[in-house]
């Protein structure tokens, strides 16, 4: 199969390297590209489902998106097998894992709320991440970290999944704000019709935040366990740890406020959006800036 | 092949009254129970030259769909039959009955099952009612090839319209709009608690819809406590004293208010306190009273969604507009269904000609075979069968291409002339063809 594709590419005068295929990486990159194609079809179907929420496009999207996730997961495992280490040391791996987790969350969210259109709205950012992962193969950007390898994979995995969850919660929060605004202002357009109910959005946003919080807690715990080996006695003064703790505390405060004072609806939505904005600053500006070579 | 007796052309029709042509005092006199209508089907077929019949009787329409071979008399026998059969004054109905034939009848039924002809555009009940009417007629052997095919097509079109258009998607009554809003806030209404303040007609309708959609706990309050008790009993709910209903607000997910009070009976401050007690879980408040019962400031309280009668009417108007848009799309589906059915009907014209051709060819083959067999006395039975099979095979192969092309030509606009030409060419006798429906152009 691999030779067949190489021959086909060569017949068009395009060298395989132009697609980023080099040596053994072709196995998982081909699977990744197939997954990307399936995600593209799935997103297109979800967009069509906005026009007819229970039409053929919506039903097809339910089949295509899970298939895309499955192929994506296989490509991730294949990359792990080929490279021999958990594939989070490159931008391709990091974006890929983020997008896969976010799409899994979006599909679960849509299934739970019965609105395939929500998958389109929530899948937009992960889809962009996939495109970035696709482009990153041409630059081979490596991530660096001082954490011992034994802690690195588990730490990065937990943190990336929490990042996915918080981004999904922010997207869901934005949908919640839109639906709440329509209900308060009594303006109901076609987009509103395709959206899940307010309570479903509230419930799923909250669950997603809880999921993200659990993974972030695990990621921080693993990071702290490996930190003394990486940064010596003053490990607790590292900016990444402190900023992660800040994010963790923020979400922790929200969970307490929800349980005690019933912060929901608009408050939850605003919190999920602002919480993710802080997360973005923390991860992208502080962590990524230090990790990327 | 045995020859069949000649039959006259079949004619499809619908005759009756509906909400567009007759006022309610006329329609209500035609409404009968299922048993009476089922008997009427059989009596109609006995008394009139009707081969197949289905009677559809709902609140807003009374219609007979039938197949007859007496085109000239058809418009005149249905109305008198029903007025006399149901004991009605014929003059009262003279101007209200309509009669549609063939293509128009097909289009009418498809519009009925698509709820394009309903009083409330897009209502869901009519498809079920048509199915029941057809089932009742079929159970009495009152339907045949034509109506079976027509009604199957009508059900198919009705389902397609509901699946592919938004014609039945949103509420078009004020009472149902409240349910739609509740579902947009809560999703499922299972296990939700609703409170009715005042027992006006609109409140009763709305609470009925809510209970139908899963609301299980109903609280009812009214200035006259006994009225609250009565309405609560009807929905298995609980009556609450009017002075104490604000204390129960924290339990309530949906509140419907329609009292005749001259001022506000529910203030924002009371709602804020209730919201704190229920930990800000969302509440839908529907104020259908004029003057309003609920202070407008309540609409600004977090997680409270307040709608008054004008808001609900706006929702309904918006939804009606959407249904009218969907109706344009639905009419296209109806036209497609009509074309498909008429093509099928048209194709029936060719059947008697094909049967005639086959019969004539086989007759000639049989005659020639008999003559040949008389001269071939030394053949065994096995040899005779081989000769017979060869002759029959030759006949069928000769006819295969002409018959295939005849079927194709029967779908074209000049099919009647083509079929006449074939009849002339092969000198087909009337006894060698079955009945063909005529005048099937819409």
B184: nearest CB among A197, A261, A264? A197
Minimum CA–CA partner of A259 in chain B: B279
| More confidently predicted of B70 and B215 | B215
B139 and B87 housed in the same domain? yes
Q: Give chain A positions within 8 Å (CB) of B318.
A: 188
What sign for the dihedral angle of Cα B118, B120, B121, B126? negative
Residue B328 maps to a domain: no
- What is the rounded distance in angstroms from the CA atom of residue A179 to the CA atom of residue A173? 10
Q: Does position B436 have pLDDT exceeding 80, yes or no?
A: no
Q: Does position A15 have pLDDT exceeding 70, yes or no?
A: no
Residue B441 maps to a domain: no
B297 and B354 housed in the same domain? no
Question: What residues make up the domain containing B210?
Answer: 174-316
B189 and B82 housed in the same domain? no
Catalytic residue among B59, B233, B290, B389: B59
Q: How buried is residue A255: exposed, middle or buried, by Cβ count under 10 Å (0-12/13-18/19+)?
A: middle
B361 and B257 housed in the same domain? no
A288 pLDDT band, cuts 50/70/90, is low
B142 and B223 housed in the same domain? no
Structure-token pair, residue B322:
């959407």
Most confident among A86-100, B104-118, B394-408 (mean pLDDT): B104-118
CB hemisphere CA count around A118 (13 angstroms): 32
H/E run at residue A100: helix A91-113
B221 and B146 housed in the same domain? no
Beta bridge pairs of residue B255: B195, B285
B58 and B178 housed in the same domain? no
The ranges assigned to domains in chain A are 144-291
| More confidently predicted of A83 and B2 | A83
Asked whether the beta carbons of B112 and B126 are under 8 A apart, the reply is yes
pLDDT digits (tens, 9 = 90+) for A186-237: 887 777 777 889 999 999 999 999 999 999 999 989 888 877 776 666 666 6
Q: Is B329 on the interface with A (CB under 8 A)?
A: no
- Residue B420 has what pLDDT? 81
Q: How buried is residue B117: exposed, middle or buried, by Cβ count under 10 Å (0-12/13-18/19+)?
A: buried
B427 and B409 housed in the same domain? yes
Residue B344 maps to a domain: no
Residue B442 maps to a domain: no
Q: Phi, psi at residue B239, to the nearest 5°? A: -85, 140
B104 and B195 housed in the same domain? no
Chain A contact residues (CB < 8 Å to B): 52, 54-55, 113-114, 179, 183-184, 186, 188, 192-193, 196-200, 202, 261-267
B385 pLDDT band, cuts 50/70/90, is confident
Structure-token pair, residue B282:
């969302």
B7 pLDDT band, cuts 50/70/90, is very low
Flag if B185 and A200 touch (Cβ within 8 Å): no
- Give the closest-approach CA distance of A61 to chain B in angstroms: 17
Return the percentage of chain B with pLDDT > 90, whole number. 36
- Residue A71 has what pLDDT? 94
- Give the closest-approach CA distance of B327 to chain A in angstroms: 15
Q: Is B169 on the interface with A (CB under 8 A)?
A: yes
B186: nearest CB among A55, A186, A197? A197
CATH code of the domain in which B202 resides: 3.40.50.720
Q: Domain A144-291: give its CATH code.
A: 1.20.120
Q: Is residue B48 annotated as part of the catalytic site, yes or no? A: no
CATH code of the domain in which B98 resides: 3.30.460.30
A262: nearest CB among B169, B186, B281? B281
> In total, how many domains does chain B have?
3
Residue B331 maps to a domain: no
Nearest to A98 by CA among A141, A127, A140: A127
Q: Does position A290 have pLDDT exceeding 80, yes or no?
A: no
Q: Is B214 on the interface with A (CB under 8 A)?
A: no
Q: What is the mean pLDDT of residues B166-184?
A: 82
B370 and B390 housed in the same domain? yes
Number of H helices, E strands in chain B: 15, 10
Residue B85 maps to a domain: yes
B286 and B379 housed in the same domain? no
Q: Does position A293 have pLDDT exceeding 50, yes or no?
A: no
A199: nearest CB among B282, B299, B311? B282
pLDDT digits (tens, 9 = 90+) for B68-103: 887 677 777 777 777 777 677 777 777 788 889 889
Q: Give chain A positions within 8 Å (CB) of B305.
A: 183-184
B148 and B178 housed in the same domain? no
Q: Which residue has the tokens 């981004």?
A: A167
Flag if A264 and B303 touch (Cβ within 8 Å): yes
Q: Does position B264 have pLDDT exceeding 80, yes or no?
A: yes
Domain boundary (B136, B164, B192) is at: B164
Flag if B305 and A184 touch (Cβ within 8 Å): yes
Instruction: Evaluate whether ipTM surpasses 0.85.
Output: no
H/E run at residue B332: helix B309-348
Residue B324 maps to a domain: no
């Amino acid at each position: 199969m691999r030779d067949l594709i190489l021959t086909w590419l060569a017949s068009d005068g395009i060298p395989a390297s132009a697609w980023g295929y080099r040596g053994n990486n072709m196995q998982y990159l081909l699977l990744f590209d197939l997954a990307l194609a399936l995600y593209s079809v799935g997103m297109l179907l979800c967009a069509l489902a906005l026009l007819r929420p229970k039409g053929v496009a919506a039903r097809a999207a339910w089949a295509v998106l899970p298939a895309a996730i499955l192929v994506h997961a296989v490509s991730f495992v294949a990359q792990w097998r080929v490279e021999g280490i958990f594939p989070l040391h490159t931008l391709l791996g990091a974006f890929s894992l983020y997008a896969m987790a976010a799409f899994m969350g979006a599909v679960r969210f849509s299934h739970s709320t019965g609105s395939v259109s929500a998958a389109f709205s929530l899948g937009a950012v992960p889809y962009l991440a996939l495109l970035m992962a696709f482009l990153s193969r041409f630059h081979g950007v490596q991530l660096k970290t001082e954490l011992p390898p034994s802690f690195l994979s588990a730490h990065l995995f937990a943190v990336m999944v929490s990042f996915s969850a918080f981004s999904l919660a922010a997207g869901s929060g934005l949908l919640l704000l839109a639906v709440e605004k329509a209900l308060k202002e009594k303006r109901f357009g076609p987009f509103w019709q395709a959206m899940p109910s307010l309570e479903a959005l509230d419930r799923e946003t909250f669950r997603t935040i809880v999921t993200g919080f659990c993974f972030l807690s695990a990621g921080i715990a693993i990071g702290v366990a490996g930190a003394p080996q990486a940064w010596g006695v003053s490990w607790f003064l590292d900016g990444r740890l402190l900023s992660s703790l800040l994010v963790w505390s923020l979400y922790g405060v929200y969970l307490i406020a929800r349980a005690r004072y019933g912060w929901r609806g608009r408050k939850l939505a605003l919190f999920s959006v602002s919480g993710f904005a802080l997360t973005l600053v923390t991860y992208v500006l502080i962590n990524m800036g230090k990790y990327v070579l | 092949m045995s020859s069949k007796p000649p039959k006259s052309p079949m004619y499809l029709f619908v005759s009756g009254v509906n909400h567009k042509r007759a006022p309610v005092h006329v329609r209500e006199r035609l409404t009968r129970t299922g048993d009476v209508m089922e008997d009427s089907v059989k009596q109609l077929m006995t008394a009139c030259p009707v081969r197949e019949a289905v009677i559809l009787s709902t609140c807003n329409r009374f219609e007979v769909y039938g197949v007859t071979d007496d085109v000239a008399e058809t418009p005149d026998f249905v109305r008198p039959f029903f007025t006399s059969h149901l004991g009605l004054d014929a003059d009262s109905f003279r101007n209200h009955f309509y009669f549609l034939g063939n293509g128009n009848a097909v289009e009418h039924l498809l519009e009925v099952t698509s709820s394009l002809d309903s009083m409330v555009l897009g209502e869901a009940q009519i498809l079920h009612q048509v199915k029941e009417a057809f089932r009742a007629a079929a159970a009495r052997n009152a339907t045949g090839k034509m109506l079976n095919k027509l009604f199957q097509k009508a059900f198919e079109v009705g389902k397609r319209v509901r699946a592919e258009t938004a014609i039945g998607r949103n509420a078009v009554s004020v009472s149902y709009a409240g349910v739609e809003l509740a579902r947009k806030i809560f999703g499922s209404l299972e296990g939700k608690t609703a409170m009715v303040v005042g027992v006006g007609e609109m409140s009763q309708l709305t609470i009925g819809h809510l209970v139908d959609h899963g609301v299980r706990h109903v609280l009812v309050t009214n200035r006259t406590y006994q009225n609250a008790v009565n309405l609560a009993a009807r929905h298995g709910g609980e009556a609450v004293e009017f002075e104490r209903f604000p204390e129960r607000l924290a339990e309530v997910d949906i509140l419907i208010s329609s009292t005749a009070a001259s001022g506000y009976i529910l203030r924002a401050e009371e709602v804020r306190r209730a919201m704190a007690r229920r930990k800000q879980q969302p509440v839908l408040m529907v104020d259908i009273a004029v003057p309003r019962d609920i202070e407008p400031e309540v609409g600004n309280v977090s997680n409270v969604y307040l709608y008054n009668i004008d808001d609900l009417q706006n929702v309904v108007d918006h939804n009606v507009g959407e249904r009218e848009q969907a109706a344009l799309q639905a009419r296209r589906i109806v036209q497609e269904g009509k074309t498909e059915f008429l093509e099928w009907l048209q194709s029936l014209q060719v059947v008697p000609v094909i049967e005639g051709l086959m019969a004539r060819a086989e007759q000639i083959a049989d005659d020639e075979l008999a003559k040949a067999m008389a001269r071939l006395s030394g053949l065994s039975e096995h040899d005779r069968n081989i000769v017979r099979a060869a002759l029959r095979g030759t006949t069928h192969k000769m006819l295969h291409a002409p018959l295939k092309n005849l079927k194709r030509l029967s779908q074209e606009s000049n099919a009647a002339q083509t079929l006449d030409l074939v009849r002339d060419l092969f000198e087909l006798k009337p006894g060698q063809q079955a009945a063909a429906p005529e005048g099937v152009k819409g």
